[in-house]
């Protein structure tokens, strides 16, 4: 048996438990962003997300798509213009993905593959074996144990819910995610747009005014301000911001 403390509660659990009754993953709690995996802080696991990226050489868009394909095209571009500043952006968040462009395309791809292996991941995604029988016992839910601090009456209420505190917290998070899905998409689009703008257009005319228009939800003003920017930067910025301006009256 192991005794653990979660927030203000102390409880006992069986050894070898896959999850802890009074913990919930802070990464999915509204208002928190602790230990969230991002391309910038954990590039070796980026490809497991199945997300795409875009490479820019200064203000010119070089390639978009899978990380390995983009990295190869970016290296080819650098072979023709070694003075270009190459940045690779995650299409979902606009965070910069760290790619070591030294050497040949094979060198770059080998390093990307090595990062996957160093993290215990296969070089290529394995296909599930439908013939493999499931092991006996409760299936693993993929939950992560972390600490949450709540007031005593919060723990009292959670503990009185069917399934206990952990189940109740997961239900509350899922309900909040569904209820705020549209607003979350708009917020994430604004943040991704700003991340990209601040790196590629921080010195462009109207940047500060465009930023204010972005967070004010003024799509018409935003489009006017970014139109004079370099074509590829302008187009990618507008593409990222499109979701943020889908519902002008939602903010």
Residues 6+ positions from 241 with CB-CB distance below 8 Å: 189, 190, 193, 214, 219, 222
* pLDDT for residue 143: 73
**What are the 10-residue block averages of pLDDT along the chain, 251 residues in total?**
42 39 37 40 48 93 93 93 93 92 86 64 48 58 79 88 86 80 85 96 96 94 96 96 77 53
* pLDDT for residue 164: 85
Q: Is the pTM of this model over 0.75?
A: no
Is-contact 230 202, C-beta < 8 A?
Answer: no
For residue 225, the tally of other CB atoms under 10 A from its CB is 21
* pLDDT for residue 169: 87
Query: Which helix (H) or strand (E) element contains residue 90?
Result: strand 86-90
Beta-bridge partners for 201: none
* pLDDT for residue 21: 41
Tokens 């296969």 locate to: 122
* pLDDT for residue 48: 39
Tokens 């990295």 locate to: 71
Q: How many residues does the chain have?
A: 251
* pLDDT for residue 103: 85
* pLDDT for residue 176: 77
The domain ranges of the chain are: 1-35, 43-118, 181-250
């Amino acid at each position: 048996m192991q005794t653990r403390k979660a927030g203000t509660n102390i409880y006992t659990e069986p050894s070898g438990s896959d999850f802890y009754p009074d913990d919930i993953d802070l990464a999915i709690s509204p208002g928190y962003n602790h230990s969230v995996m991002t391309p910038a802080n954990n590039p070796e696991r980026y490809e497991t997300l199945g997300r795409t990226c875009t490479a820019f050489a200064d203000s010119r868009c070089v390639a978009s798509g899978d990380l390995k394909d983009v990295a190869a095209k970016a290296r080819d571009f650098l072979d023709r213009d070694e003075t270009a500043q190459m940045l690779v952006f995650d299409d979902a968040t606009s965070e910069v993905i760290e790619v070591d462009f030294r050497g040949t395309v094979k060198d770059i791809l080998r390093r990307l593959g090595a990062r996957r292996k160093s993290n215990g991941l296969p070089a290529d995604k394995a296909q599930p074996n439908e013939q493999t029988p499931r092991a006996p016992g409760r299936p693993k839910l993929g939950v992560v144990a972390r600490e949450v601090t709540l007031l005593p009456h919060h723990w009292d209420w959670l503990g009185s819910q069917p399934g206990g505190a952990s189940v109740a917290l997961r239900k509350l998070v899922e309900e909040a995610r569904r209820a705020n899905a549209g607003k979350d998409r708009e917020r994430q689009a604004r943040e991704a747009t700003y991340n990209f703008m601040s790196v590629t257009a921080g010195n462009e005319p109207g940047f500060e005014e465009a930023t204010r228009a972005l967070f004010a939800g003024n799509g018409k003003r935003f489009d006017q301000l970014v139109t004079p920017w370099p074509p590829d930067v302008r187009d990618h910025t507008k593409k990222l911001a499109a979701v943020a301006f889908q519902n002008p009256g939602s903010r």
